Structure 1
């Protein structure tokens, strides 16, 4: 005469083991590993059941499959291929063009020249000659420092806009 527990266990094996084996197979495991992990998962489930620590409303099949998935991840992590770093030198290489700068259609100086002679002089004075805004305002005959700062900003915006349009034109063509 079979007991209720025997029938339950047989049903669990019949219905859940194939699902667990499929999960473990997709993770790179094999059938023997799946059987071992499945049995461990069933034991963990039964222990949790005895301790009344099972979450309410979760079917046994889903819980056992979840436990098996976690156990498989741990086992595959531990037994995964361990290759010494000395053997990896030939396998890992940085592509030759990794550090190459992106192709530039025109040097930035060409964009600055296209913004106008006055912008070229103003930006040169600020960025290359390291003149302060006060000095630039005096040298370029601006009424205020704010006017010089605004003009520098407008020059930079002209250059940015030309670069954007140039990049857009190259992308489209």
Structure 2
């Protein structure tokens, strides 16, 4: 049974919420399709369509509301505008996220550079053991073998002492705020 837009509008203005159910069922596919075709999910599409129905209801019950198009056209336009705003919000959020990750990456690179600079100030054997362990990822056995040390325990002791020297050197040259800015 075909119901006229004016009849729907009259029902809404008299508070008949079943008119919204009718509009929902009648326009669901078109409104959902709009969002899905424009990079949205079905859940986002349902949310946008429900918001559009609320906007329409609020406008329709206003005494000065005048419907100048078909209800379906009005709803489609509201959905388009709401979805456009949502896409802009998502884009800003993604750009902000990207900027944060770039900033974190730069901070991490700065910290790595500070550590490298301080390692370069240590003696050759400390520089070698720390580089082999932390940057090359070698085991203590491999480090002992490569550096001609007696065994892995000797390599661990060497690494421990060199790490303490490095920590001390970093603390003497830099403050905590250099790492937290």
TM-score bracket for this pair, using the shorter chain length: 0.3 to 0.5
More helix per residue: 2
Return the TM-score normalized by structure 2.
0.41
Return the TM-score normalized by structure 1.
0.43
Task: Please identify the structure whose Cα radius of gyration is greater.
Answer: 1
